[in-house]
Structure 1
């Protein structure tokens, strides 16, 4: 009888412990769901529910193969935007409980709402599925996408006639490009490789993407590094002498929203300009930390040129301090003054 009583008591204790574990995980899960819209800023302390703190002997957080016991929002550990983490809770009974969560980190300052004025319009070839777009004076370099149609074309702004064009293999889906010194760098969509050309668009060599970059999307440069997007929230700075090497990485967010699907890029006067795939906006981004400092709403222009899911805003360049804007299969390039 005594053995049965002890076994029953142990079972009740185990059940109570399991129920408490479940309760703690539910509390932490509910808490993190509730926190997702609030978000944090760098330097903030994570607000862990008190009953979780009372139940835990130690708490660590795992994220991207890193683990920390520091419950503050440290930029060495977190990035702007969504951070999918795992809470590891060591209970006072010696168990380790785990709970997945999403922690949002936002910029502290609200971005400027930037207006514009259209000052000129130029023809654009509607056969061009624009992926990369860059201006040097009145010369346009454009990377045209789609398998079987991919090419690099060089032409005068205002003309649809090519000065130079180089078609690419049918297996290639061309993406972003940038002119860096006397070389032209170009990305491909899912081939995990890029191309380097001379100023006459003659191929010099290929390069492989760093493993962190799954796909090639947008590309620009700041005079020191290549700057690349891959359709996520991240923007990568690459060594132009060795484009397979990542120099540093930033993630993009405003004070209320994290952005992913960062696409076509342009660097101008100390800022990165980026469009967000299938959205009628262009973001002005601080290249030091990824904070969105300005937002331009091009809805009126987009409505005039977009009829489906493919012919979207996807071309940013600068002619002096004026921005040039176009999109996939658009009939026009717009020159605008930013205000």
Structure 2
């Protein structure tokens, strides 16, 4: 997404696992260490009992009692009651005055998304000096924000779709600002910077700066889109932030998960027919996200769409023609902008 590769430092956790910590002699038999739990599937909680000589066992999820037994039979819990992500599980075994316990983690993930391939419907010229970060279509024009990479500059552009010609451009101080995602809100354009903790609001007509606004909980700017009521912002994590469209203040956030766990490195965004389409940084993948739950409901595999030795940078840039139902994608420094059709697999 940036001038340097996005590197995730630290401990990498597998979100599709249940890890049990022993406390005393107890540990969990269910869920086991290789099991993830898709929302809607039952959660089975059961200890590895060494004896049936006990008074009772009480099971907890996030410190809330979810069942109790006086025998060794598993407790079954409806996973629909839990949102995505990690959940603490624990159990207490009572035998007279003695209490023993076990604890661990489970991860609730969505059902597997629909898988899509693609068909190229049309090709358009794309400026190979455009290090694309944000892209939007309106009335036959593309609006594009670019970053400072590979001897390019941070800019905001209005581009003729058919010819690829840049009709209007505003350049920013690339020593200070690395341009990121943008979107159109009425007669304004809202544009992000990467690490300045600052965004811009500009006039759509003349690209003149109206004001700046600060980030708060989100520490970086990556992608931006507009759902007609709120701005939706990514920061390179698995979180999406919802912003007030008028003040740009952060209101709330959701975490994005697929059937394997967290979906990190969410990048350029586009709001299409009630769903959020997001590039995944350094992958030829677009994920389709439910904005209410954070579940990835679809996945477009775009591997092989672009092969050019001179301009081989990341896929980044999604735009949609609502009236014509046309989906456009491009990438950083690509010489082509593609109109594609999604093909269900």
Q: TM-score, normalized by length of structure 2?
A: 0.75
Partner of 2:276: 272
**Aligned CA distance change for structure 1 residues 73 and 58 (closer, same or farther; 3 Å):** closer
Cα distance in structure 1, aligned partners of 2:199 and 2:341: 33
Unaligned runs of 5+ in 1: 1-19, 62-67
Q: Return the offset for 1:315.
A: 0.8
8 A contact 2:59–2:89 mirrored in 1: no
Root mean square deviation, CA, Å: 3.3
Cα distance in structure 1, aligned partners of 2:185 and 2:325: 19
How many residue pairs get aligned? The number is 301
Cα distance in structure 2, aligned partners of 1:307 and 1:50: 59
Q: Return the offset for 1:219.
A: 0.8
Unaligned runs of 5+ in 2: 1-21, 67-76
Partner of 1:253: 257
Match status 1:49 vs 2:47: yes
Higher strand share goes to which structure? 2
SS in 2 for 1:301: coil
Which one of the candidate residues 285, 297, 303 is aligned to 2:301?
Answer: 297
Partner of 1:311: 313
Which one of the candidate residues 192, 198, 213 is aligned to 1:193?
Answer: 198
Q: More deviation in 157-166 or 251-260?
A: 251-260
Match status 1:156 vs 2:131: no
Cα distance in structure 2, aligned partners of 1:262 and 1:54: 49
Instruction: Select the structure of larger CA radius of gyration.
Output: 1
8 A contact 1:322–1:338 mirrored in 2: no
**Aligned CA distance change for structure 1 residues 94 and 331 (closer, same or farther; 3 Å):** farther
Higher helix share goes to which structure? 1
Deviations 1:278-331 (A, max 9, x none): 1111122222222222221111214x14779x8111111113211111011111
8 A contact 2:154–2:178 mirrored in 1: yes
Deviations 1:60-92 (A, max 9, x none): 63xxxxxx425567788x643x43x66677787
8 A contact 1:128–1:328 mirrored in 2: yes
Q: Return the offset for 1:195.
A: 1.0
Q: Return the offset for 1:97.
A: 8.1
Partner of 1:202: 208
Aligned pairs for 1:227-246 (under 5 A) are 227-246=232-251
Cα distance in structure 2, aligned partners of 1:162 and 1:126: 11
Match status 1:218 vs 2:216: no
8 A contact 1:230–1:262 mirrored in 2: yes
Q: Return the offset for 1:214.
A: 2.2
Which one of the candidate residues 321, 338, 343 is aligned to 1:334?
Answer: 338
Cα distance in structure 1, aligned partners of 2:263 and 2:88: 22
SS in 2 for 1:171: coil
**Aligned CA distance change for structure 1 residues 203 and 296 (closer, same or farther; 3 Å):** same
Q: TM-score, normalized by length of structure 1?
A: 0.76
Cα distance in structure 2, aligned partners of 1:21 and 1:54: 18
SS in 1 for 2:249: strand
